[in-house]
Each structure stands twice: as structure tokens, then as C-alpha cells.
Amino acid sequence: SDTLERHEFGAEVGRLLDLVVHALYSDREIFLRELVANAADAMDRRRFEALTQAVSAPSPDATITISPDKAARTLTVADAGIGMTKAELAQNLGTIARSGTRAFSQSLGDGKAEDKPSLIGQFGVGFYSAFMVADRVTVTSRRAGADEAWTWASDGQGSYTLEAATRDEPGTDIVLHLKEDADEYLESYRLDHVVRKWADHITVPVAIVSEGKTETANQGTALWRKSKSEVTKEQYTEFYRHVGMNFDEPWATLHWRAEGALEFSALLFIPGMKPFQAVEGERASKLRLHVRRMFITDEAELLPTWLRFVQGVVDTEDLPLNVSREMLQATPVLTKIRRAVTGRVLSELTTRAKDAEGYQPFWENFGPVLKEGIYEDYERRAEIAPLLRFRSSAVDGWTSLPDYVLRMKDGQEAIYYLVADDADALASSPQLEGFRARGVEVLLLSDHVDAFWPEQLGRFEEKPLRSVTQGGLDLSKIAAGEENGEAPASVDALIAALKTALAKDVADVRTTDRLVESAVVLSASGGGPDLQMQRLLRRAGR
Ligand code: ADP
């Protein structure tokens, strides 16, 4: 028809699709999880938009329906969600926009070809995973609030088409034309099994329509509303992967219900790996806020930025369903929830920190983020400080402030630290020589945030924190390990530092008895010409 438009996929999509289509999978059933999750998100978004904008809500008994058609060899996933405009179809299904898929596509660049299928299983690649089981996919969608509908269609071979369509109600139908080897997804028992396994926690009912009968496959119980004893480890892990686009096991799972003055359920996770969305990128917490199960927003900043690595859901009874953006910003309910949730996460970390080995992966993934709390959160500073871990001149591995204090020498009054760009430069720094000579431990800091927090913390257990580069440090109350009758260790350190700094320009730097009032003198080695010395001087001073 003359309304048919053909578009090429973005280069990244082409590459991704090629891989999805040609790889072999153990877990290709996850395509259904991806499509059901998208449908559920779309329903949540429509419900939320209906509260604040001129958009009709989905009917209260709306379901996601999965309909296999054996004669046509199609599988249709239909929702009454927010839908997509023509432009959104092109943007969402024609390019790689979301961070998870982009990270996946980048990670394909590394690693061996034979590892790639399992990567797909772990990540899920969202909508595109439909091409694992289908050789043609059509998406007919009508955006809530709009009259027109559009059909997106593709065989996953480099291009897609867009065409005007009709649809009575807002929402989306995704029709998969199944590949020959994907017959199993025409069987309702198989579909039922996959939905129970992967989509049980989805709060929108998922119905499988088969031979005129409709059966609801998922329990639809929001996992976080269940009691701990009712939830298996596998269900927690599956939910964790769903909310955070993760593919590992959580390092910590916190599930509790607050009752009394404040009522909420929370299910939080600390990831076992650093997520692909760099911790440095998005600074705000993305914890999801639900009100009586319904998803409201992930922009309520339910945790401070220095706990932004925590993922999950908080579901409260104490806000109205039609809570507005302005209200979210002003309500004391959220302030209280924020305080309670922050306290709970810190107490979990405090408990887990007692097990040094178990705590280490957490620290290596998220330590630099946690450190930000020292300068961002005055109130929590005292709770955060013992949770920090450091490299040190005295011990291998990680150490903590309480342990450092236990090791302090007689007469040592301060906690010493040295900040530099990288750990190797730190360990060999001449700044440390004087401290080494006296057996005084120095914490070695090389994270970006280390330039800021020690001064903010100021003291730990009454001991001031001092940078070893600060002038006027007095080590004289601490006995030196060995008296060698030569210059004091602090002068050695100065000399070593000068040698390093001037390595290109001078042959040697030595202590001397010759000077009384001046600090430094240049001397020519073996009677070199004065002119040469002057040039050296000028260069060194540049
Ligand atoms: P993700 O869902 O992780 O963002 P996908 O590739 O699965 O990535 O989907 C890309 C985008 O397409 C979604 O973010 C969403 O905006 C849109 N989308 C997908 N399926 C639907 C749907 N059933 N209804 C409305 N929008 C959808």
C-alpha cells in the first residue's frame, strides 16, 4: 500500500538481531518474560498517566493476554497499556536506546563468540528477543490519548516497515510468526509453565487464551507483599534480575515490612556485581515507589545518592493512589520512609562488614560510592565511617578505621593518610619513608572521592585525620624504629621527593652541613661549568 514506509535499523540493532537470530540458546523461552514485562510496564505507565493527564485508565480487570494460534502458527501478546505512537515505534523498536541493551551490545565486543549465547540468556535483550523464536514480528499499537494506530513489522533482517492500522482501544499487540523449531510455544501448558517461572511476580494478571478458554497463569502477588517464609531464593533472584536488569545473584537481599506509625513493605537488593550503568553516571537513587502495589515512580529518591547502588521496591499504604509529583516532593511520609530505609541498609552493611571476606566484594564494587556519604550526609557520618575500607602501608588487603586505631603506636596522636592517583604510586611514595622508619601506619587512598572526605570527617574515635603531605607534622613523640645517626627520617623523605621531582635535572640530592640559613644549594658535580648549572636551575623552576 502507499502508506507503507520502509526504514533501516540502526547499525547496532542489525548486529544485535543478527546475533539473536543465529545463536543457539538454552534459555530462549525468556523472550516471553521480556514481552510480558514490557506489557506490564506499559499498563503501569498508562494507569499512572491516567492520574495526572488526559488519558483513560485501563479497565480494572484488564489483563495481558497470550494467545497461541496453531493454524496460523502465531503467538500474540496483547496489552491494554500506554501504547506507542508512530515515532515511538521507530525510536523504541528501531534503535538501541535503553542502557541495558546498549551495555549488552557493547559487551558483545569483548569475549569469545561461543560465550555469546549464554550472554543473551543472562541479559535478556528486551523486545528483540522475540526474534529468537519468530522469523517475523508485527507490532500494532495505539498510544493512549491518540486516535490513530500503527503497525511496525520486521523479519529482523536489516529493515522494518511502518503502516497505518486500526485498533479499537489503546494498547499493543505483538504477533510472533513462529519459526519452524518453535512449535512448543503454541502449546498452552508450555506457555503456562514459562509464565509461572518467569513472570509470577508481575502484578497485572497474565491470561493464556487457548481453545476458547482463558486461564490466569501468574499469581500476581507482588513478591514484596509476601512474607519472607513464602518466598524462595530463586524467586528473589528472578525478581532482582527483573527490577534491575541484572544477571547475577544479589549480594544482599533485604525484605521487611514496617508497621505502626509508618506502613510500608520493602524488598531491596545490593547487587553482586557493579551494574553496567556505571555507578558514576546516574547519581539519583532509582528505588521504585509503589502505593498499594501500583507502581508510581522511580524518581522519588527513596535513598540518598551515596546508597544509589541499592535496587528494589518500596510499597506504602500511607500515600493516596493519585499522589502528584508536587506532593511527592513535599510529603513527610517520604521523608520518614527515606530515613527508615537508609537506617535499615546501614544496619545491614554494619552486620555484613563483620565478615571481612564476605564484605570485600561489596566494598570493591560500591565502596567509592559509600564514601560520598561522609561528605554528603553529616548525620550519618558516624555510622558510615566504620564501614569504610582502606589499603594501608602496614597490612595487605583491606583495613578499617577501628582496626587502624587499635594498631596506633604509643605517642601517635593522629590517623595518617596519603592520597594519590593510583595505588602503585602510593606504595612507593617517598612521603611514606619517615612514617615507615617509625613504624607508623599510613592509609593509602586512591579513589576519586578521597580528595574530599577525610577533611570532612575530621576525626575518628577522637583521633584527627591528617594527610602526610600537610606541613608541620610532628612525629617526634613517636620513637623511631632504628637510630642510624644520620639525618632524621623526615629529611630523607624530603630528599627522596626532591630526587623524584628533579630526576631529569639533577644527578643527586644530598644533605649537607654547608648551609646554615639557606635551605637548598645547587652544587656542580665534578666541577661542571656554571653556565650549565644556571640552565638546570631555569628548567627546574619552570
Ligand atoms: P526495555 O523494555 O528494557 O526498555 P525493550 O527493547 O524491551 O527494552 O523495549 C524498548 C522500549 O519499547 C520500551 O522501553 C518501551 O518504551 C517500548 N515498548 C516495548 N514494548 C511495549 C509495549 N508492549 N507497550 C508500550 N511500549 C512498549
Check residue 196 and give its pLDDT.
80
CB 188 less than 6 A from any atom of ligand 1: no
CB 98 less than 6 A from any atom of ligand 1: yes
pLDDT digits (tens, 9 = 90+) for 262-309: 999 999 999 999 876 544 567 899 898 888 777 777 889 999 999 999
Ligand 1 center from residue 206 Cα (angstroms): 17
Query: Which atom of ligand 1 is least distant from the CA of 81?
Result: 24
* CA angle (480 as vertex; 475, 485 as ends), nearest 5: 110
Please, which pLDDT band fits residue 359 given cuts at 50, 70 and 90? very high
Residue 321 pLDDT > 60, yes or no?
A: yes
Residue 51 pLDDT > 80, yes or no?
A: yes
**In the Cβ-directed half-sphere of 315, how many Cα atoms lie within 13 Å?**
20
Alpha carbon distance 542, 531 (integer Å): 17
pLDDT digits (tens, 9 = 90+) for 413-453: 999 999 887 777 777 777 787 788 888 999 999 888 888 89
Check residue 153 and give its pLDDT.
97
What own/partner pairs with CB < 8 Å and gap ≥ 24 does 184-193 have?
185/29, 185/32, 185/68, 185/75, 185/133, 186/68, 186/69, 186/70, 186/73, 186/75, 187/68, 188/68, 188/215, 191/32, 191/66, 191/68, 191/75, 191/217, 192/217
CA-proximal residue: ligand 1, atom 18 (nearest): 38
Mean pLDDT of 27-36: 86
Counting ligand 1 atoms within 8 A of each CB, the residue from 9, 16, 35, 38 with the most, and so the one to mutate, is 38
Query: For 299-447, where are the alpha helices, taking DSSP H only?
Result: 325-330, 332-352, 356-376, 381-384, 401-407, 423-427, 433-437
Terminal C-alpha separation, the chain: 74
CB 244 less than 6 A from any atom of ligand 1: no
Ligand 1 center from residue 39 Cα (angstroms): 8
Grid cell 485508565 in the structure block, residue: 57
Report strand pairing: 311-316 vs 294-297: unpaired
Check residue 527 and give its pLDDT.
35
Ligand 1 center from residue 102 Cα (angstroms): 14
Helix axes 332-352, 356-376, angle to 10 degrees: 140
CA-proximal residue: ligand 1, atom 20 (nearest): 38
Ligand 1 center from residue 371 Cα (angstroms): 35
Q: Give 1's strand partners.
A: none
CB 475 less than 6 A from any atom of ligand 1: no
Question: How does DSSP assign 344-363, residue by residue?
Answer: HHHHHHHHHTTSHHHHHHHH
CB 129 less than 6 A from any atom of ligand 1: no
Alpha carbon distance 83, 170 (integer Å): 6
496 or 302, greater pLDDT: 302
CA-proximal residue: ligand 1, atom 27 (nearest): 38
CA-proximal residue: ligand 1, atom 1 (nearest): 126
Helix (H) or strand (E) holding 210: strand 206-210
CA-proximal residue: ligand 1, atom 12 (nearest): 92
CB 67 less than 6 A from any atom of ligand 1: no
Check residue 443 and give its pLDDT.
94
CB 289 less than 6 A from any atom of ligand 1: no
Contact 285, 297 (CB under 8 A): no
CB 172 less than 6 A from any atom of ligand 1: yes
CA-proximal residue: ligand 1, atom 13 (nearest): 92
Grid cell 628533579 in the structure block, residue: 502
What are the cell numbers at 236?
528473589
Alpha carbon distance 262, 251 (integer Å): 27
In three-state form (DSSP H/G/I as H, E/B as E, the rest C), the secondary structure along 430-456 is HHHHHHHHCCCCEEEECCHHHHCHHHH
Query: Which atom of ligand 1 is least distant from the CA of 171?
Result: 24
CB 127 less than 6 A from any atom of ligand 1: yes
Counting ligand 1 atoms within 8 A of each CB, the residue from 13, 41, 125 with the most, and so the one to mutate, is 41
Contact 92, 45 (CB under 8 A): no
Check residue 522 and give its pLDDT.
56
pLDDT digits (tens, 9 = 90+) for 96-111: 755 555 566 666 555 5
- Residues 313/319/322/323 CA torsion (nearest 10 deg): -80
CB 153 less than 6 A from any atom of ligand 1: no
Ligand 1 center from residue 34 Cα (angstroms): 9
What are the cell numbers at 310?
541499592
247 or 87, greater pLDDT: 87
Residue 124 pLDDT > 60, yes or no?
A: no
Alpha carbon distance 155, 9 (integer Å): 11
CA-proximal residue: ligand 1, atom 21 (nearest): 38
Counting ligand 1 atoms within 8 A of each CB, the residue from 48, 127, 141 with the most, and so the one to mutate, is 127
Contact 398, 444 (CB under 8 A): no
Alpha carbon distance 28, 137 (integer Å): 16
Distances in Å between the alpha carbon of 259 and those of 263, 264, 454, 537?
5, 7, 38, 73
CA-proximal residue: ligand 1, atom 19 (nearest): 38
Largest distance between two CA atoms of the chain: 105
Grid cell 486500526 in the structure block, residue: 166
Alpha carbon distance 13, 217 (integer Å): 32
* Selection from 235-239, 327-331, 357-361, 523-527 with the highest mean pLDDT: 357-361
pTM listed for this prediction = 0.63
Contact 191, 66 (CB under 8 A): yes
Alpha carbon distance 313, 331 (integer Å): 19
CB 81 less than 6 A from any atom of ligand 1: yes
Distances in Å between the alpha carbon of 295 and those of 222, 237, 238, 458, 487?
11, 20, 18, 42, 69
Contact 289, 302 (CB under 8 A): yes
CB 175 less than 6 A from any atom of ligand 1: no
Residue 303 CA to its chain's centroid (Å): 14
Please, which pLDDT band fits residue 530 given cuts at 50, 70 and 90? very low
CB 243 less than 6 A from any atom of ligand 1: no
pLDDT digits (tens, 9 = 90+) for 171-217: 999 999 999 999 999 999 999 988 887 777 787 889 999 888 888 88
Ligand 1 center from residue 92 Cα (angstroms): 6
Alpha carbon distance 186, 163 (integer Å): 27
Contact 318, 326 (CB under 8 A): no
- Residues with Cβ within 8 Å of residue 347, at least 6 apart in sequence: none
- Residues with Cβ within 8 Å of residue 464, at least 6 apart in sequence: 413, 414, 415, 458
CB 295 less than 6 A from any atom of ligand 1: no
Check residue 529 and give its pLDDT.
34
Alpha carbon distance 17, 20 (integer Å): 5
Please, which pLDDT band fits residue 514 given cuts at 50, 70 and 90? very low
CB 13 less than 6 A from any atom of ligand 1: no
Q: For the chain, give the mean pLDDT.
A: 83
